[in-house]
Amino acid sequence: MFSGSICALITPFSNGGVDEKAFERFVDWQIEQGTNALVPCGTTGESPTLSHDEHMRVVEICVGVAKGRVPVIAGTGSNSTEEAIMLTGHAKDAGADAALVVTPYYNKPTQEGLFRHYKALNDAVDIPIIIYNIPGRSVIDMLPETMARCAQLPNIIGVKDATADVSRATAQKLACGEDFCQLSGEDITQLGFLAQGGVGCISVTANIAPKEMADFQAAWRDGDIKAAQSLNERLMPLHVDLFCESNPGPVKYGASLLGKCSPDTRLPLCEIADSSKKKVEVAMRSAGLLN
C-alpha cells in the first residue's frame, strides 16, 4: 500500500507558533521533488511538544496541500491509548490515508499490553495503521511474534521499523506475511532493510534531500542496484550527521540552509552546537545539496 521514499516531515516554527505558510510550501516542495508519501506529526515533526490543536492543524494542512497527489500517513501515537484513539480518529476525519502509531513510550507495557493497545486502536478507528517500533525512544521493543498477532487485526497493515536490525525485515515477513508493509525507520540501514524484505523508508534525510531519496528508492525498485548503492554512499554522511544531535535539530538546521524554514525547535530541544552545524553543512555539501 505504501512504499518508496516517505518523508517524516519537520514542523516549521516562527515566533513560537507553527509557521503554516512555510509548512504548506514545504509539503508542496516535497511532492514536486518526488517524495512518495508524507508523515506529518511524527517524532521529526516534534509531536511531543505540539498542542492537540496544533497537531490536528498540521495534519489538516498536510492533507489539504497534498490533495491526494501522494498519501498522507498521520502520526497519531501516544503513551495513552485513549489519546492515540482521539488523534487517530481526527486523522481519519481529516482525510489522512493512514495513521502511524508509535509503541507507547515511558509506560513500558508488556508484549500483551502492546497487543491490546493496537487492538483498541484497530477496533475504534477504521483506518490503516502502521506500527512504529522504535526501542531507542520508547524503551520497549515489539517482538516479531507480537507483531504477527497485531498483523491479524484488519486495520494493522505494516510497520515502521527503527530497530536498526535489518534482519528484522525477514523475521517479520516470515511472521506477518508477504503483504505486511515493512518500512525502514532508519536512513542509515535502509539499503540492507530493502534487501531483507522492506519496501521503503520513512526518512529524516528526505526533508533536505527529497529528490535524491526518491531516486534511491526508485533505483532499488527498478533493480538498478549499482545506482542505489551509489546514491546510498553519497547520502551516507547525511544519514549519519543528521543525528549528531537529537532529531530534528540537525535536519531543521539543514532545512534552514536551504531557505525552507527557520531552524527553531521547541524546548527541551534547543539550537544545535556550532560544531554540529559544521557537520551538517559539510555533509550537505558532500551530497551536492549546497554546491
**Residue 173 annotated among the catalytic residues of the structure:** no
Neighbouring CB atoms inside 10 A of 16's CB total 7
Residue carrying C-alpha cell 553543512: 281
**Residue 132 annotated among the catalytic residues of the structure:** yes
Contact 155, 126 (CB under 8 A): yes
Q: Is 81 exposed, middle or buried (0-12, 13-18, 19+ CB in 10 A)?
A: buried
Cell of 268: 527541551
Between CA 230 and CA 245 the distance in angstroms is 26
Pairing of strands 37-39, 156-161: unpaired
Radius of gyration of the chain (CA): 18
Short-list 130, 154, 14, CA closest to 72: 130
Between CA 12 and CA 210 the distance in angstroms is 17
CA dihedral (76, 255, 290, 282) in degrees, to 10, reads -80
Cis peptide bond N-terminal to 135, omega within 30: no
Between CA 212 and CA 203 the distance in angstroms is 12
Catalytic residue among 132, 253, 260, 277: 132
Which residue(s) pair with 183 in the sheet? 160, 200
Cα dihedral across residues 135, 140, 146, 147: positive or negative: negative
Catalytic residue among 21, 108, 160, 226: 160
Cell of 77: 501515537
Residues catalogued as catalytic: 132, 160
